[in-house]
Amino acid sequence: MGLYLCVFEGDEELEGVEVGSYGDFGTLRDYVTHELEAGKLGSRFPTFIVHSDCDGEWSASQCERLRDELMEIAMELKTRPAVGFSSEWQRTVAKSVGLVPRNAFESFIDVDGEFLIERLRGLAEFAYRYQSPILFQ
């Protein structure tokens, strides 16, 4: 089952990120917990890590903190070595767009082959600006 994160205004979708599977999202959060939080779940990035991926939404008020956490995660992942893609679809997409990750930041992509942390940070910034929640679908 795929995870789609999006921002709506009324019935109109304004922005969204097709993450991949819930398992792929879990792999990213597990990596962040293990590598950047020394295995201490949510100790540095509670908004991103502790929130259940089936809890419905990150509220508009949480999006500023989420954006800031994702900026810090991005900076730190760029200093870490690349890791293998966790799913076959990621390997296929990366090959189709000519992506060979140079660091951990580039090792996590969305279904379009764009860097997932960057896309999530952009979505959090968008949601914060519009004061709208990010919905999990």
Give tens-digit pLDDT for 5-47.
999 988 999 999 999 999 999 999 999 999 999 999 999 999 9
Nearest to 24 by CA among 76, 80, 94: 94
First-last CA distance in the chain? 10
Nearest to 121 by CA among 71, 50, 76, 72: 71
**Stretch 105-125: mean pLDDT:** 98
Cβ pair 12, 123 in contact under 8 A: no
**Stretch 51-59: mean pLDDT:** 82
pTM: 0.95
H/E stretch holding 91: helix 88-97
Structure tokens at 23: 């398992």
Give tens-digit pLDDT for 58-113.
999 999 999 999 999 999 999 999 999 999 999 999 999 999 999 999 999 999 99
